[in-house]
Amino acid sequence: MPTYAVYTGVGKENATLRNLKAAARRCKEIVSAALTPWPGYVRVEVKAGDNAEVKNAVFSMPKNTRMVIELVPGVVKILGNGNETVPLE
């Protein structure tokens, strides 16, 4: 499963983590969320859905899942390369 880094802002990691876990109960593609060793970031594991595309051997995050994550309170940005999200693993 691809893992993405989500920027939350320094000091807001725990609140955003709780909000992401609540979103994971509603959205089946979000598997889990956990703190990262970097301040201001949270790791999010996403299950590749039916609408995921393979681009250069990297799974692109499903657009509906990306929208759910970006609408979670506390999430500033999903890290990536321009408009594309880039998984950590």
pLDDT at 36: 86
pLDDT at 49: 56
CATH assignment of 3-81, given 3.40.605.10, 3.90.1150.10, 3.30.390.50, 3.30.70.940? 3.30.70.940
pLDDT at 55: 44
pTM of the predicted model as reported, rounded to 2 decimal places: 0.79
Average pLDDT, consecutive stretches of 10 residues, N- to C-terminus, the chain (89 residues): 89 92 85 88 79 49 83 92 81
- Using an 8 Å Cβ cutoff, are 31 and 1 in contact? yes
Domains of the chain, by residue range, sit at 3-81
